[in-house]
Amino acid sequence: MSTGTIPTPPKKLNRIGLEVLQYKGGKTTLCAGCGHNSISERIVECFYELGVEPYKVAKFSGIGCSSKSPAYFLGQSHGFNSVHGRMPAIATGAVLANRTLLGLGVTGDGDTASIGLGQFMHLVRRNLPMIYIIEDNGVYGLTKGQFSATADVGSKLKTGAPNDLPPFDCCALALKWGATFVARSFSGDKRQLQSILKAAISHNGLSVIDVVSPCVTFNDHEGSTKSYGYMKEHEAVLHELDYVPFFAEIAVEIPEGEAMDVQLHDGSHLRIRKLDRDYDPTNRLAALSAIEDAEHKGEVLTGVLFVNTSKPTFVDLLNMDEAPLATMPESKTRPSKAVLDTVMEELR
Amino acid sequence: MSTLEVSPSEPASGQPDHSVVNDFSIQVATVNGSGSQTANSVLMRALFQMGIPVSGKNMFPSNIAGLPTWFTIRASKHGYIGRRKEIDFLVAMNPETAREDVMKLDSGAAVVYDEPLKLNELRSDLHFYPVPFDKLVGPVCPEAKLRKLVRNMIYDGVVAQLLSIEMGEIRNALVKQFGKKKAKAADLNMGAAQAGFDFAAKTFTKTDPFSVQRMNATAGKIIIDGNSACALGAMFAGVTVVTWYPITPSSSLVETLIGYMRRFRHDPETGKASYAIVQAEDELASIGMAIGAGWGGARSMTATAGPGISLMSEFIGLGYYAEVPTVVFDVERVGPSTGLPTRTQQGDLLTTALLSHGDTRHPMFFPCSPEECFSLSIEAFNFAEQFQTPVFVMTDLDLGMNNWMADPFAYPETPIKRGKVLDADDLEKLGGFARYKDVDGDGVGYRTLPGTNHPAASYFTRGSGHNDKAQYTEREDDYVHNMDRLAHKFDVMRKHVPAPVAHLGKGAKIGFVACGTSDYAVRESCDQLRNEYDIEASYLRLKAYPFNEDLLEFVRQHERVYVVDQNRDAQLLALMRLEFPAELIAKLRSLRYYGGLPLDARTVTDEVIRQEGK
C-alpha cells in the first residue's frame, strides 16, 4: 500500500514501509496532561514499531473520556465508539464477523467497572482474542468528577468528600474469571507500558491491561490514590520487561535463571527479569495473592501479572472457518436448493 | 347449534340428528409436563394426513410441570385455520380445570373425560364419554414410570374412534413424531391409542354429530411453526453471526436454527462452520454483538421478545444513528413487564417502531404465516444491508410457537444483496469516500468493512453527532443535515418494503387493515359478515412498516376502516395516526383484542357489527 516514490528527505519507515504518521489519529480533545494521551502515544509507537498493518486493527470503546481516545490514534483503522459499558459486545460481534481483525478496546474505569462490569466479566470468561485497555483514573471525568467503582476506600474527591466503598480491582476480576494476559501499568511509565502493549499485541487471547491514568482535572490532588504524585510514591514494579519481536534477531542468549522467557503466539518473546522478588506470571493464584498483598501494603503493583499462552480463545471454540465470515461468498452461506427440498420433505 | 336433550345418566342412543363433518374444534385439557404434547401433535397430524385443513393452538402456562394447559385443534373444510372460540369436542384430562372447561361449552358439545371426574353430573345438554384411563393404561404399558406419558395416547384412540379418524394415520403420525430410531416408543404409544380405540368401539354409542371424512386439501403441504420457519429463513438468507439470549417465546427460533446450521452450514471437507452462534449474557449483549457483527460485515441477527426489546432500546438507537445493519426477530408476547409470557399479543408495535431515545424510526416486517416467516426473513436481511439499519421481523407467540399448515417454501430466486459496500478496488478508483454522504439521493451512504486493505478505508463509527465524513460534530447544520437524511432514507424505504396485500370487496364501504396473525380471523370474519349480515368488507394486510401509498389509497377508497390490533392501545392505528392526514384519520375505527389468545373471527365480526350499529 505504501509503495509510492520515496520522498526526500527519506522519512523513517517501519518494517512494512509505513511512517509513524500513518499510525496517528485526530488531534486529542482531552485535557493537557491527561494520562490517556500518554497511552494513545504508546499505542501509536507500539503498532508502528511492530509494523502492524493499520487496516487489520479495529478499535472499540464505550463512553467516557477514555472512550473518546480511539479517535486520536490509528486513524487508518476502523473504529467504533459505542454505548456506555457495552464495548465488549460490539467487539465480540465484530471479531466474530472478521476473525482476522486485531481488536483493540479502550475503556475507562467508569465504563468497565459499573454498567460494564457484566459485559467485562463475560468478555473475560470467553477469552475473546483482543486487547482491552482500562484507562483507570478512579473518577468520572466527562461528568466532572464523581467517584468511579475503582476508587480506593478513603480516597478523596476534589471537594474533599471521601469514598466509603471498596474498589473493584479489574485485574483481580480478569485473573479470576479467565483472561489469559493480565497486566497493570501506569501511564507515566513509558517503557513498561510499551513492553506490555507489545506483548498484548503478540498474545492470542484476551489481554486485560489496567493502566492507572491520572485525571489531571478531577483526580490529581492530595488525597487521590490515582494521581501522578501517589503513583510516584506507591507504584511497586514487579519485574523488568523486555519485549523481543518475532522479526528481531535475538542477539544475546540470557543465562538460565536470570530471566524468564515467555514465547508469545506470533513468535515474539517476553523476557521477564527479576527485580526484588520472585514472581511467576504463569501462576494465577500467585498473581491474585500478590495483588491482595499489595493492596494491604498500600502499593500499586505493576507489570505482567499473568500470562497463559495455551488456553483456546473464543474464536477457537466456535470452530469457525479460517476466512472472515464478513466476506464469505454466497456459495458458503446459502445452502443449496437440495437442502431446502430435504428440509421440506422432512416437514411433510 | 341445536340443543340436545340428553339425560346425564342415560346418554342418548342412536344416530345424531344431524352431522357436522370436518368443521369443528377439539380441545384437550391436560396438565403441562404430562407428555400430552405428543398425543396432541399426533391427533393434529392425523387429521392433516387425512387431507383436512387443520390448525393447532397450544395454550400453555409459564411453568415446567403441573399447571393447566389446553391444546385446541380446529378442523375446517373451508380452510379456516384461525382460532375458533367455540369448543365442540372436549377431552377433559385435568381434574383442576375439568369443571370450568365443561361449564364453558356450548350446548351439544361432546366430552371425553377421565371417568373418576364424574363430569356427566354437571350438565345434561352435552354428550359425555367416560373413559377409565388408569385401568386402560396398565395392560398396554407395563413400565409404571412411563404410564403418565403413555396415558394421554389413549385419548387419541378414543377420539379417533368417536370422530372416525383413521388409525392408520394415527400410526403414521406417531412414526413421523418418533422417527425411525425410536420405533419402540412409537409402538408403545400406538398400543395405547389402540386400547383407547378398542375401548370406545366396544363401549360407546356415538351420540354427538361430529366426525371427519378424508379430503384432499393438504396434499403437498408441510407442518411447521413460525419460529422454525424464521430460522430457515435466516439460514437461507446467509446469516453468519447469531447472538441471542433465551426468552419465551423466541428461544425455539434460535434453538431450531442451531440444529439446522449444524447440519447444513459446515464445510463438508474441513468441518468448519460458516457462522458463529453466541448465547449472550443478556439482551444488552446480544443486540450489541449483533450490531458489532453487522458493522464488521456479517449478516447478523438476534431473536427476542418484549422484555428483550425494552433492554435493546439504547443499542437500537445506536444502530439507527450509526447506520448499522442487523435483523431483530421479535416474537411478541403479552406485556407490559413480564406480562403473560406464554400468551400472544401484538404488543410491541409502537415501542419497536420508535425504539430508543431521540428521533428514531425502524422498519418492521409482519409475516402472517410460516411461508412469510421464511420469505420475509430473507428479505429482512437484504433490507437491513441495503438500508444499513436494524430491521425488525415482528411475529408473535401464536405464529412462532404453534404448528401451522403451510406450502413448501420457495427457494430464494435472487442472490444475497449486501448493499453499498466499497472494497479496496472501489476505494482506489474513488480515491476515498465519505461514510454518510448521500451520493445516490436515497439517503444511504457507502460503507467499508473493517479489514479492508486500503489506507482510505477506515472511518470512525460513533453514536455521537457526526458529519458526512463520520467526524465528530456538534454543529447545528451538520446535525440537522444528518437527521434530515435519515428521515429521507426512511421515506425511501416506503417504496422498497414488502407491499401490502389487498382484497377489495365488491362495492365495499368498510375495510379492514391488519397485520400478522390477525389475518386468519379477519379473512374468516369477512366471510361471516358477507354470509351472516350481507356486509361486504375489503381487507388490506400490511406486510411492513413504514407504510406506503397503498395503505393511504385503501383508506381513501373506504368510508370506514377497521384497524385490527392485538393490543389494548390500538398501536397499529396509532402508527397510522402519526403520519396520516386528518381526513383519513377520521375514517379509522379501532378493533382491538388483547386477552392473550389468538384472535378469532367471531370477536372481529361481533365488534364490527356493534360499531356498525347493526
Burial class (CB in 10 A: 0-12, 13-18, 19+), B437: middle
Residue contact B294–A93, C-beta within 8 A: yes
**Cis amide linkage into residue A9, ω under 30° from 0:** yes
Q: Which residue of A has its CA nearest to B371?
A: A344
Would you say A177 and A125 are in contact if contact means Cβ atoms under 8 Å apart?
yes
Position A256 confidence tier, pLDDT thresholds 50, 70, 90: low
Give me the interface pTM, i.e. the ipTM.
0.96
pLDDT digits (tens, 9 = 90+) for A203-233: 999 999 999 999 999 999 999 999 999 999 9
**Residue from B411, B418, B454, B471 to probe the interface with A (highest A Cβ count within 10 Å):** B411
Low-confidence ranges of chain B (pLDDT < 50): 1-14
Residue contact B288–A80, C-beta within 8 A: no
For B73, the grid coordinates are 385443534
pLDDT of B32 reads 84
Name the nearest CA neighbour of B128 among B22, B23, B9.
B9
Name the nearest CA neighbour of B236 among A262, A146, A43, A339.
A339
Residue A2 confidence (pLDDT) above 60? no
Which residues does residue B68 pair with via DSSP β-bridges, in sequence order? B31
Would you say A61 and A70 are in contact if contact means Cβ atoms under 8 Å apart?
yes
Q: Which residues of B77-106 are buried (b: 16+ CB within 10 A; e: fewer)?
A: eeebbbbbeebbbbbbbbeebbeebbeebe
**Residue from A101, A124, A334, A339 to probe the interface with B (highest B Cβ count within 10 Å):** A334
pTM for this structure? 0.96
Which residues does residue A133 pair with via DSSP β-bridges, in sequence order? A106, A209
Contacts of A119 in chain B (CB under 8 A): 281, 284-285, 288
Name the nearest CA neighbour of B546 among B482, B463, B480, B487.
B487
Instruction: Give the span between the Cα atoms of B447 and B458, in whole angstroms.
Output: 9
Residues 106-145 of chain B with CB under 8 A from chain A are: none
Overall average pLDDT of the A298-307 stretch: 96
- Kindly list the distances between the CA atom of residue B356 and the CA atoms of A114, A116, A328, B315, in Å, as whole numbers in the listed order: 22, 19, 32, 8
Residue contact B285–A333, C-beta within 8 A: no
Phi, psi of A143 (to 5 degrees): -105, 15
Q: Is B486 on the interface with A (CB under 8 A)?
A: no
pLDDT of B4 reads 39
pLDDT of A249 reads 75
- Dihedral angle over CA of A113, B243, B396, B305, nearest 10: -10
Query: Beta strands B54-59 and B68-76: pairing type?
Result: antiparallel
Domains of chain B: 20-211 (3.40.920.10), 224-406 (3.40.50.970), 421-493 (no CATH), 501-612 (3.40.50.920)
Query: Beta strands B560-565 and B588-592: pairing type?
Result: parallel
pLDDT of B34 reads 79
Instruction: Give the span between the Cα atoms of A160 and A140, in whole angstroms.
Output: 16
pLDDT digits (tens, 9 = 90+) for A47-88: 999 999 999 999 999 999 999 999 999 999 999 999 999 999
pLDDT of A215 reads 96
Residue A182 confidence (pLDDT) above 80? yes
pLDDT of A167 reads 96
Q: Is A98 on the interface with B (CB under 8 A)?
A: yes
Q: How many angstroms away from the CA of A149 is the closest CA of chain B?
A: 21
CATH 3.40.50.970 corresponds to the domain A20-331: yes
CA-angle at B251, arms to B248 and B254, nearest 5°: 160
For A64, the grid coordinates are 467516557
Residue A7 confidence (pLDDT) above 90? no
Q: Would you list the domain boundaries of chain A?
A: 20-331
DSSP state of B463: S
pLDDT digits (tens, 9 = 90+) for A83-127: 999 999 999 999 999 999 999 999 999 999 999 999 999 999 999
Q: Is B300 on the interface with A (CB under 8 A)?
A: yes
pLDDT digits (tens, 9 = 90+) for A292-302: 999 999 999 99
Contacts of A328 in chain B (CB under 8 A): 240, 274
DSSP state of A115: I
**Cis amide linkage into residue B249, ω under 30° from 0:** yes
